[in-house]
Structure formats: C-alpha cells, structure tokens
Structure 1
Amino acid sequence: MRIRTAGVVAALALALAAAGCGGDGKPAAKESAKAAGGKLVIWADDKRTAALKPFAEKFGQENGVTVEVQAVSKELQTTFVTASQQGSGPDVVVGAHDWIGNMVQNGAIDPVQLSGDMKSAFNPTAVKAVTFNGQTYGVPYAMENLALIRNTALAPEAPKTIEDLVASGKKLQQEKKVSEILCLQVGQKGDAYHIYPLYASAGGSLFGTTANGDYDPKDLGVGKPESIAAFKKIGALGEKGAGALKRSIDDTNSISTFTGKKCAYLVSGPWAVTDAKKAGITYDISAVPPFAGGKEAAPFVGVQAFYVAAKSKNKALAQEFVANYTTRTDLAVALYQAEPRPPALTAALDQVKGSDPDLAKFQEAGKNGQVLPAIPAMAAIWDPFGKAESAVVGGADPTATVTAAGKTIAGQIK
C-alpha cells in the first residue's frame, strides 16, 4: 500500500507445543523435519528478503534442512494466493495484515495460536490487527501509520488543528516561501488511506463494529449523513475552497515536493523520513491535526506479519522456523534496519528507539489510530471512496458524490 516489525515466530511456538515434543524434550516437528531432510520456502518483498536470508541460512545449518528465501517484487499477495490455489506456493509468506481477509477467504493461510504471554510480547494493536473472526492468523513484526511531518525551518510549531495548518501554510505561500499549503497525496483517483485521518476527524467511518469490536461489513459508513458531512469539510479544503488539498499532489510527488521545500507540511509515514534526511530537511513529527471542534484525527494503523501457508508442503518445518526464529529480537532489529518502521516486538522497539527518536514520535502520532480493516469487504472501499475524494477535492457536490460512492460500495460487498 501506499502503505506500507518481528514476530511471526511466536504464533507458531504455541502450535508447535500443541503438536507435542519428542522424548528428549525437543519439538517433534523439529525432529521430523530433520529426519525428512525438509525444505522451507519463504516469500517476502525485496527488502525483507535481504534481512531474512542470514537468519534463514543459520536455521538451515542448525537443523540440517534447506531454506530458500525468495523475493517477490510485485503483487506479492495476488501471486501468493494464486500459487496457493495451484499448490505451488511457499511455506511462509511475509506481508501486510490487511491481506488477511482475502487470504482466509481463499484458504491460503492457517490460523496460529498465541498464548497470553506471547501476545504480551507485542504491541497490543499489532496483535489486534492480525486477529480475524476471533482467530490469530499471523505474527506481527512491524507497524506503521501516518503522521504530520513538518519542515521546522518553515514551521517551527506543530499546528493544533487543520485550520491552524492551513492558515500557516497560506501565510508561507503569501510570503513566497512555499508553493503548496499541504502535501497530502490525492491524485486523480484519490487516496482513501491518506485522507482517512481527516475523514475520521470529521466524523466519517468506513464500517461499524460488531459486539466484539470487529469491523462489520453489513454496517457501511460510506454514504451515511456523517460521511457526507465529513466530505463537505474535506471539500472545503479542496481546490475551490482553501486550496490545501489538490489532485496535482499524488503518490509520485507528495514527498519530493516536501523535500524540495515547496511545502512545509507533509502527511506521510515512516517511509518518507529517509528522503527527508537525504534532502537535509530539518523536520519534526507529530499527529495529523484534527478539524477544530472535531474528533481526533485517526490514521490507519498497518502491520506487517509472517503467515503460515495453508498448503505448505512442510508445515512442521514452517512452524519450527517461525517458533524459533521470527520472534527473535535480533531478527526484528534486522528487519527494522532493512526498512525503518516501528517493531511490533516490544523488546526490539526498546532496543532501537534510543538511536531513532522518530519511532516514538510515529507511535505517539498513531495512538488514536484505527486498525486498517482486514475484512474482505475492504476491497470494495478503495476505488469508489478514492474517486469520490478526488471529485470532491476538485469541487464536486459532496452529497451526490458520496451517496453514489456508498451505493457502489454496497453493491460490491457480497
């Protein structure tokens, strides 16, 4: 995702315990894997593949098995689900938590069991993110959320409201210090992920929740009066209003416009920090500011996790790898170093946060965040919601636009 730290192992430890141990106290799964001369195949993206390989090789050496970490550069989720259906997939896959609903629906991953002690080793929001229909389907390793990143040379103080931000941005614009009030990617197709903090602050929702707190696909928030009111506020920030939101700012130029000092404020995630540092920008990180008198802005919280393939050819070996290696603090730190996002494993976060103050700031910015829905119905949201946002930012009528988007989404949810 435009979205876009390490504990798969924990989940598997429990499953391993359930599978029983050998007479010498070693897990039966480990013994059977060694006896069979097993092979473990792990799929991940390019960055995580590089971080995982040394650990995978060590595991293979210690257990007398072959371990292959294979990089899938594009469409990892789709490739995995298709391969699973064809019986040619990996044993373990690494990916975003919002894939869970789709992967479960397609029978591609197995649930895992986490004891209370295991869960307590992770950020509780991360554990919640990998829980679907009351079952834990993955073990989290990294977390991410949006925040407001500002150029402190241009904007020394964090704005308390979005209105304060717009006023500050307009003043800088009038003084010819910037060309844009705010860098928040919209584009021609919109971007539900990046606009969501403001949508939520204005009272909008995507789905209601069930009694146990899970997202309810039958209770669609898009198209309700609250969502129309939210889009009216978003529209007021648009091209025919304050001019803070523009379709010309998209995923290809929002960060570069900020690093080029053409805007003082950027709404983005941890992935933007590297570019800011390279550009020599003096920056600070704070929560996305809310609308005056509105609710707190609530960014989506995303989680990266390890999953056990339902059609793994060697589940016992997959569980052994996860149980003994993915919950290791050193692996979590290596994954963080490969791509700096806050580790979900508390011990790993404690180890790295001293040298990276940005981690705590992103966590603070996400404390009011909402877990990105992982239910299959979420797939129906992205395109109609994004197009509605883009249209309203361009000046379209919020009531008609959002009502139509709600009907489209409802028609796609089965």
Structure 2
Amino acid sequence: MRVKIAGVAVAAALALAVSGCGSSDDKADDGAKGSEPGLVIWADDKRAPVLESFRSQFESELGVTIKIEAVSKDLQANFVTASQGDNAPDVVIGAHDWIGNLVQNGAIDPVQLTDAQKTGFNADALKAVTYNGQVYGAPYAVENLALIRNTELAPEAPSSIEDMVADAEKLKKDGKTEELLSLQVGDNGDAYHAYPLYASAGGYLFGQKDNGDYDPSDLGVGKPGSIAAFEKISELGKKGVLKTSIGSENSIPLFTEGKTAYLVSGPWALTDIKKAGTKYDITPIPGFEGMGKATPFLGVQSFFVASKGKHKTVAQEFVANYVTGEPLATALYNADPRPPALTASFDKVKTTDPDLAKFAEAGAGAPALPAIPEMSAIWDPFGKAESAIVGGADVKDTVEGAATTIGDAIKK
C-alpha cells in the first residue's frame, strides 16, 4: 500500500542484555554492555507501538535488548541511506514493492523461513515477497483498493463507472453531496489509485515473462492501450469525477463528512470511517462499460532483514519466530485493520470482521504491485501525467512524454 506515513520516534535505547547470542556479527557488539542497543527495528508510527507492547517478551525470549524506532517519513529512502552509511537497523517494516530497489542496493537479505512457516502465509502474499526465486520478506498484511460507498446515499453498488457517475451526478444535483467521487489524484497524481481505471481501459505498466515475473523491457506506458486508457481518465477529469484538488490529505475526510457517496481507498480508511459513524459497504471498483475489470494492485506489508544490520542472526530469528506467529500478526491487525497475511490470524479475525472478505473479493485476481527496481521509474512520471491529463492536458503528447522519461530512467 502506498500511504503517507506520519509519526514520531518511540522507544528508548537499551543495552545488550546477553552476550554470545547469534553469530560473530552479533558478538562483535556484545562487549559494550550498557553503551548501545541490541536489535534495532524500524517501523512506522502505527506498527511501532504494537511492537513496543511485545518488546519485553521479545527481549526475554531472544536474550537481547531491543530498540524500536518509528521513522516519521521516507522510510525506504532513509533505510537505504542508513544502509549505505553503515548505520542500518536490523529489521525494517515496509511494502513488498520496495524489494527490488532494496536488493539492488544490497540493503536486505533473504528471510530464512522453513517450508512449514511459508505455508502459513497467504500464497499471493508469499509470492509477492519472492524476488529472483528467493523470499525477501515475511509478510504480515495484504491490502488492495476497493469502492467504499455511503449506503445511506448510495444503497446499491454500481455496475460500471458510468453507472456510478450517473448516480453521483444525481446526488450532487439534488444537493445531497458536493463531489462525484473521492479518488486521490493530487497535484502530482497517484499511479497506485489510478491503476484500476487505467487497467480497465486497457493500460498496463510492465508485461510479464512466461514464468509470471514482470518484464522491465516491456513498458506499457506509451503503448496504444495506455493512451486509450488515459483518454478515459481524461473524460473523467472533464466531468469533474477526478480532480487534482482531491489528494491523500482530503480523500477520506470528503467521504466521512458526507460530501461524496463514493470513495476509492483501502482498508486503512476504515478506522476514520467507523469513527465518523458513516454507514458503508465495500465492493469491487467498477470498470468502464464494455471494457476490462478494474483490477487494483495487491500490496503486501512485510518485515525485512537488513544486510548491514549489526545483529543479523538475531534479526533472522526474530522474523522467523514472531512474524510467523499469530499473536503478533493479530495485534498488528488490531492496530491497523488490514487483512492479515498469516492464515491463522486471518481465520481468527475474519469471524468478527466481515470487511476482510469484502476487501478480498474486491482484490480477487489482483496482480502484485511490481517489486522490480524499474518500478521506481514509474511513479513520478506516471503520476504527473495523470494529474496533467485530469487537468486538461493533451493525452497523447503527455503520455508519450511520460513514457520517454520512464524509459530513459530504466536504461540508466
């Protein structure tokens, strides 16, 4: 998932509790008891407090002290920088689509999971964290976009984008809403949120090889299908369905405040929606009439073991023993209700959370967000092209310009 992270650092630095735990890379730091922490974990502001609540247990069972830090922003970039500067944490939590970039930068190691542990995860989640035949992350949550609608304003799920727009226009005309749809675009666009519409109209980002891996040599942006897809996005911009004034900061508030009946978002939106008391339902994002399915990307949140961490053996033990366990997976779900990637946790919480099955249905058949390094070349040019086109720019020239920028970046 691609959500803006905000938060402050938490947890205090503690001393290494027990010497001789792990391999020589762990022992090298054990002599300075009381001078520096043992295992260091980087997380965002929502996951850090959950890990902090388990810290005493982790320390007791692993035999090391643990420092948990919430990185306020740019977690991936800060992690790469820290790794290159020999100041990396031992474990970092992030999205699976970071993997290609992190592997290319020598920042993470494959995660050492047994076959039994691997079978405990959602198969699609495990596939998403597999890169070049090796598992590089221990997944703990999956996520995808869906259509969330205010059932008091829109009791029936739309059959197509056109059906949704017609209903939204009537609601606005009758003075019941102010916006037709809340789908974040913003000044710089948003490739992740635009992708279901783009895919429905025939666009793709990268082709796939016979084994299912993404093929960076087959760039879809700039191809006729992508131009046709952006033509449909342009039409939505002209109708006011998509707006650059709707971005990550206000897309969910527009819905919770009743200013729109329709929101395209993920499970992270539900906390605010429930707090607002909005009656809602979750269904698949509708596609364009007579065109393909509006397929969102599957995102997977994962634990990674840092290549340059000072306690790699303990880090591997932590990931294998705790991320594969139901208690931590369920606690992470309770703090931020995204469908657990661990089957045991998913089965435990699904009986009390019907939204899990609805998001799963909305994401049925969703391809994993590309984790290849070349994906980093997509986000900015694609997003800016979307924003410009929604704002009225010429479609063909804009898309071809974005394709040139992306292609040049991939060749570097």
- Give yes or no for TM over 0.5: yes
Q: Could you state the TM-score of these two structures normalised by the residue count of structure 1? A: 0.90
Partner Cα separation in structure 2 for residue 399 and residue 34 of structure 1? 59
Give the match for residue 356 of structure 2.
Answer: 359
User: Aligned ranges for residues 97-246 of structure 1 at < 5 Å?
Assistant: 97-239=96-238, 242-246=239-243
Instruction: Write out per-residue CA displacement over residues 239-261 of structure 1, whole angstroms, 9 at most, x where no aligned residue.
Output: 2xx32112222222111111111
Q: Which has the higher helix share?
A: 1
Cα displacement (A) at 1:3: 3.1
1:46 aligns with 2:45: yes
Taking the aligned partners of 1:314 and 1:407, their CA distance within structure 2 comes to 43
Counterpart Cα distance in 1 of 2:24 and 2:240: 64
Shift of 1:293: 1.2
Report the AA paired with residue 409 of structure 1: I
Report what 2:3 is aligned to: 3
Describe how 1:3-402 pairs up with structure 2 within 5 A. 3=3, 29=22, 39-239=38-238, 242-402=239-399
Q: Secondary structure at the match of 2:109?
A: coil
Secondary structure in structure 2 of the residue aligned to 1:371: coil
Q: Tell me which moved more, 201-210 or 317-326.
A: 317-326
Q: CA deviation at 1:229?
A: 0.7
Identity %: 64
Retained in 2: the 8 A contact 1:29–1:320? no
Structure-2 separation of matches of 1:90 and 1:113:
18
CA shift, 1:120, in A, is 2.1
1:198 maps to a residue whose letter is: L
Unaligned runs of 5+ in 2: 5-20, 32-36
Q: Deviations over 1:172-225 (max 9, x none)?
A: 111111111111111221111111001001110000112211111111000000
* TM-score relative to the length of structure 2: 0.90
One-letter amino acid of the structure 2 residue matched with residue 3 of structure 1: V
Gaps of 5+ in 1: 5-27
Higher relative contact order (CA 8 A, sep 6+): 1
Q: Alpha-carbon deviations, 1:350-395, whole Å to 9, x = none?
A: 1111121111111111113121111111111111111111121122
Distance 1:34 1:64 in 2: 13
Count of residue correspondences:
389
Q: Work out whether residues 45 and 72 of structure 1, in 8 Å CA contact, stay in contact via their aligned partners in 2.
A: yes
State the distance in 2 between where 1:73 and 1:112 align. Answer: 25
Aligned-partner Cα distance in 2 for 1:121–1:190: 37
Which has the higher mean CA deviation after the structures are superposed, 91-100 or 61-70?
61-70
Cα drift, residue 33 of structure 1: 7.0
Q: Is the 8 A contact 1:55 1:325 kept in 2?
A: no
Distance 2:347 2:23 in 1: 31
Amino acid at match of 1:154: L
Contact residue 329 and residue 347 of structure 1 kept, 8 A: yes
Q: What secondary structure does 1:177 align onto? A: coil
Which amino acid in structure 2 is aligned with residue 319 of structure 1? Answer: Q
